Structure 1
Amino acid sequence: MSHTKRIDQALQTRGFAVGTFISFNSPDVAEFAGHAGFDFILLDAEHSTFAFEGSVEMIRAAAAGGTAAVVRLPSSEHSGITKILDAGAAGVLIANVRTGEEARRIVQAAKYGPAGKRGYSPSLRAMDGFKNNKEYREWSDNNLLIWVIIESEEALENIEDILDSGITGIMPGPYDLSMAMGYEGDTTHPEVVKALDRVSDLAVKKGVDLAVFSEVPEGEGALTPYEIADSWKNRGARFIHFSTDRMIMASGYRRILDGLKESQGV
């Protein structure tokens, strides 16, 4: 089996895969997202409250739902990367990577020797479903998703070296980048948009998978998720993340209450 079978099929048939962020410490939510049909889920171990053990349970739940789990980690520490991959994550998303050298260390932490420095064990949870550990090692070195987030001016200066480091994907980080550039979270500022466009265009040009986070806007005249997906697909994005579990739940509650207010005066 492949941890990324659903991703592989999506890329082959439609050209991009669709995921969502999970921030609740809940295996049920991870499994439900899989059963709902997401090609992958992204477990947010940077901004959420769950620790390593919580991530492991949600990786297992994602697999039960038929999907793969990529884990966003707050740092590029070697042991954190190898540990979550050994637990069965289909990949990692490392926050705030600033240099090509840091990106190369991340790649080395994710790959076995001789190409990398990931420690080898013949008995890992990640090997479940593979015929033998050799099959897993070969799959791992060729298929793990190794993504980094660009969210600082230093990263912008080093973007080409980062893209040439061996990572498989890159995600522009509009919120932190806008803060770093002095625009206080204004992701629509022309200078922020210009920087994000440069990162996106360079990634596509160099053949590094472009992964983007897309909120689903609400209100009259707002783009639909389908229009957003089509727009990003046309720009070359291969992985599109729509919303988060927290946003989806809050939006669902609001819709219910708005309907009750309108019909029942609640």
Structure 2
Amino acid sequence: MSDFLNKLTSKQNVVGTFVKTPDPITMEVLSLSGLDYVILDAEHAPFGRRELDQCIMTCRLVGLPCIVRVPDSEPATILNAFDCGASGIQLPHVKTAEQAERIVKLSRYGENGRGFAGSTRQANYGTTPLSEHLQNNQDPLVIVQIEDPEGVDNAHDIAAVDGVSALFIGRVDLTVAYNETNPDSEKVINACSAVCHAGRSVNKPVGIFLPTTENITMWQELGINMYAIASEHAMIIKGFKAVVEDFH
């Protein structure tokens, strides 16, 4: 995890993927791929609390950093992801600095923040001293998704919030929000560029989802260093389609 965080915050390129299958074996298999990290998509995939717990546990056991894209910013949702031992959380549809500030507060221990429990996996089931556990979790990984026009307009203020670790561009949601049908339209690319500029202005990493590595140089030139390429579903379909085409 520390190696991943060092790469991310020092603006080295890191590559991961979205995971849609709520099964620990998938995590075990993906750990053999060389990916820097995975994002467990609890927003759009059927991750229940039990499945999320098992997948995070497996990621920790195999040394694969895992970020949970949570479905909402409710205190219990954020608490559960961290208590299970997630490397970090990713929050969808962050539109304002005030929203980002609330998310950061709910991710940290303290008054009106994250509820403390020393018996969780992240606290090594009660074997980590309280002071050490607090020290280990004083700066949790919090990634906010910018995927609405309002979020783009407020991207600089959001990025400047203390405790926001990185911005992540939701390019497809932006495409829909701008009433476009092409994620490569000028309006969408300009919005992505604005988010990248906001990240650079406060020296924070910026990430993006891409279906393939095509045109990745363009995104690198914009300043993006965190990439989530496709998903394991997409890779399975793509791989077996190629097999079927070759076979026939």
Residue identity matched to 2:195: V
Question: Partners in 1 of 2:118 and 2:91 — Cα distance?
Answer: 26
TM-score (norm 2): 0.91
Are the aligned partners of 1:62 and 1:68 in contact in 2 as well (CA < 8 Å)? Answer: yes
Quick one: structure 1 residues 110 and 13, their matched pair in 2 at CA, closer, same or farther if it must change by over 3 Å? Answer: closer
Distance 1:148 1:25 in 2: 22
Specify which of 71, 76, 83 is matched with residue 74 of structure 1.
71
Match of 2:160 in 1: 164
1:259: Cα distance to partner? Answer: 1.1
Structure 1 residue 198 corresponds to structure 2 residue 185: no
**CA shift at 1:236, angstroms?**
2.9
- Give the Cα separation in 2 of the matches to 1:198 and 1:135: 39
The 2-side partners of 1:133 and 1:239 are apart by: 33
% same residue: 25
Q: Does 1:85 align with 2:82?
A: yes
* CA distance in structure 2 between the aligned counterparts of 1:12 and 1:212, rounded to whole angstroms: 15
Which of residues 50, 55, 64 is equivalent to 1:53?
A: 50
Amino acid at match of 1:25: P
| Alignment match, 2:101 | 104
Number of residues paired by the alignment? Answer: 246
Q: Which residue of 1 aligns with 2:12?
A: 15
TM superposition score normalised by structure 1: 0.85
Q: 2:154 is matched by which residue type in structure 1?
A: N
What's the C-alpha RMSD, in Å, of the aligned pairs? 2.2
More helix by share: 1
The aligned amino acid for 1:216 is T
Give distance in 1, aligned partners of 2:226 and 2:133.
23
Structure 1 segment 115-264 matched on structure 2, within 5 A: 117-128=113-124, 131-142=128-139, 144-166=140-162, 167-183=164-180, 185-216=181-212, 223=214, 228=216, 231-261=218-248
Q: Please give the per-residue CA displacement for 1:115-139, whole angstroms capped at 9, x wherever unaligned.
A: x711112221112298534323212
Contact map agreement 2:141 2:165 (CA 8 A) in 1: yes
Question: Any idea what SS the aligned residue of 1:126 has?
Answer: coil
Measured at CA, do residues 101 and 179 of structure 1 come closer, stay the same or move farther in structure 2, by a change above 3 Å? same
CA pair 12-173 structure 1, distance change in 2 beyond 3 A:
closer
Q: Matched residues in 2 for 1:247 and 1:27: separation?
A: 18
Query: Contact 1:87–1:126 (CA<8 Å) still a contact in 2?
Result: yes
Structure 2 regions of 5+ residues with no counterpart? none
Q: Residue type of the partner of 1:88?
A: G
* Structure 1 residue 106: Cα displacement: 0.3
> Is the contact made by 2:9 and 2:204 (CA closer than 8 Å) also made in structure 1?
no
Name whichever of 48-57 and 101-110 sits farther off.
Answer: 48-57
Contact kept, 8 Å, 2:17 with 2:228, in 1: the verdict is: yes
Question: Could you tell me whether the CA contact under 8 Å between 1:35 and 1:65 is conserved in 2?
Answer: no
Deviation at 1:36, TM superposition (A): 2.0
